[in-house]
Structure formats: C-alpha cells, structure tokens
Amino acid sequence: MKKIFLILILIFISTKLVAEVNTKDKILKNLRCLVCQGQTISDSNSDFAKIIRSVVDDKIQEGLTEKEIYKFLSEKYGDWILFNPPLKNNSYILWFLPYLLFVLGGAILYLMIKKTLIEKK
C-alpha cells in the first residue's frame, strides 16, 4: 500500500519537473500552421510557417519567454494556433475532466471491491 502511495506522489511531482532543452523547437512544435491540415509550424513548408518561424526567431532574440511568445501569437491569431490549449475558462473541463474520471473510476472500483469484502465477512 505504501509503495502505491509513493508511486502516486512521484507521478505528481514528475509532471512538474520537466527540464526543457531546446526552447525554440518546443515552441515551433507547439504552434499550429493556420493554412495546413493539422501540421505544426516546425514541420510545415508553407509560406505562413516560414514567416512564423522567422518571427519566433526574432522574438527569442528580443528576449521574450516562451509564454510571452505564445501570448503574442494567440492574441493575433487566436488560441487555435496553440497545440497546447491554455488553461482558461473555456478549457477547465478539458484539463480536469480526465483526472475526475480517473478518480471516479477508482471510486467505483473501490466500492465494488468493498462490497464483496464485506459480504465475505
């Protein structure tokens, strides 16, 4: 039982500690090409993607952080350009529902097992 607790704690901590090496690549992979069918700015060969890559380059040189670059682009093009949906009013359900369901599933399972344990006794 203790082991399981330890593992669970480790999981939650580990989602926080993600050391990122190449910021530019990470940003480009998180941006959506507006004129392509589901490609990232990093992968697309369209003119739009080339321009955005250049602009992101410039912004990194100017010293903007990753978050600031996302803010800049999503202000101009909408949140749609970000593959990682920002946590806003319109995405709370998106981000929290999975965890809710996991806990719900666990609770249902627990209740099912508990019933049979009591019956046995």
Cα–chain center distance at 17: 14
Instruction: Give the Cα separation of 120 and 71 in Å (integer).
Output: 58
* Residues 6+ positions from 56 with CB-CB distance below 8 Å: 24, 27, 28, 31, 41, 69
User: Minimal distance in Å, beta carbon 58 to other proteins?
Assistant: 7
Contact (CB, 8 A) for 77 and 69:
no
User: Minimal distance in Å, beta carbon 90 to other proteins?
Assistant: 5
Please list every residue from 40 through 99 that binds other proteins, using CB under 8 A: 40, 42-43, 45, 47-48, 50-55, 58, 73, 75-85, 90-91, 93-94, 97-99
Closest C-alpha to 30, from 69, 60, 88: 69
Residue 5 makes contact with other proteins by CB under 8 A: no
Contact residues: other proteins, CB under 8 A: 4, 7-8, 10-15, 17-19, 25, 29-30, 32, 34-35, 37-40, 42-43, 45, 47-48, 50-55, 58, 73, 75-85, 90-91, 93-94, 97-99, 101-102, 105-106, 109, 112-113, 115-117, 119-120
